[in-house]
């Protein structure tokens, strides 16, 4: 097993890769933090293409996240080379992935 940690500062209304699973997949936790002063909506999911959600693999879809708050999801189980993808309705939001490649 290889330890993995990666993250992204999300731009408003743009999906971005939080990280990518290893060649055999992996298990991760993902924390999304709203550093802003207004609530936002966030999305979290998996995809096989860079920054492209697969409709059937959303974990969250337009979930509200209050100002100055975080939410964590674990485990996120990803298949080989899957991308873990996040989206926010506004800036000042980051997503952090931590876990292990198999």
Place of tokens 């992935």: 97
pLDDT, tens digit (0-9, with 9 covering 90-100), for 31-87: 999 999 999 999 999 999 999 999 999 999 999 999 999 999 999 999 999 999 999
How do strand 26-34 and strand 58-65 relate by DSSP bridges? unpaired
So what's the pLDDT on residue 66?
98
* Residue 33: alpha-carbon gap to chain centroid: 11
CATH classification of the domain holding 14: 2.60.120.340
pLDDT above 90 (res 1): no
Mean pLDDT in the chain?
97
pLDDT above 90 (res 21): yes
Q: Please check whether residue 24 is in contact with residue 81, taking contact to mean a CB–CB distance below 8 angstroms.
A: no
**Which tokens belong to 23?**
């060649």
So what's the pLDDT on residue 13?
97
Q: Could you give the CA distance from residue 102 to residue 100 in angstroms, rounded to a whole number?
A: 6
pTM of the model: 0.96
pLDDT above 90 (res 20): yes
The DSSP secondary structure of 3-62, one letter per residue, reads: EEEEEEEEPBT--EEEEE--TT-EEEEEEEEE-SSS-EEEEEEEESBTTB--GGGEEEEE
Range of the domain at 43: 2-101
Number of structural domains in the chain: 1
Q: Please check whether residue 49 is in contact with residue 84, taking contact to mean a CB–CB distance below 8 angstroms.
A: no
């Amino acid at each position: 097993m290889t330890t993995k940690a990666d993250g992204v500062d999300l731009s408003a209304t743009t999906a971005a890769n939080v990280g990518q699973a290893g060649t055999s997949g992996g298990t991760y936790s993902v924390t999304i933090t709203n550093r802003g002063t207004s609530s936002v909506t966030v999305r979290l999911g998996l995809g096989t293409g860079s920054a492209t959600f697969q409709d059937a693999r959303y974990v969250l879809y337009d979930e509200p996240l209050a100002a100055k708050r975080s939410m964590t999801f674990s485990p996120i189980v990803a298949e080989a080379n899957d991308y873990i993808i996040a989206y926010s309705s506004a800036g000042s939001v980051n997503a952090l992935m931590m876990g292990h490649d198999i």
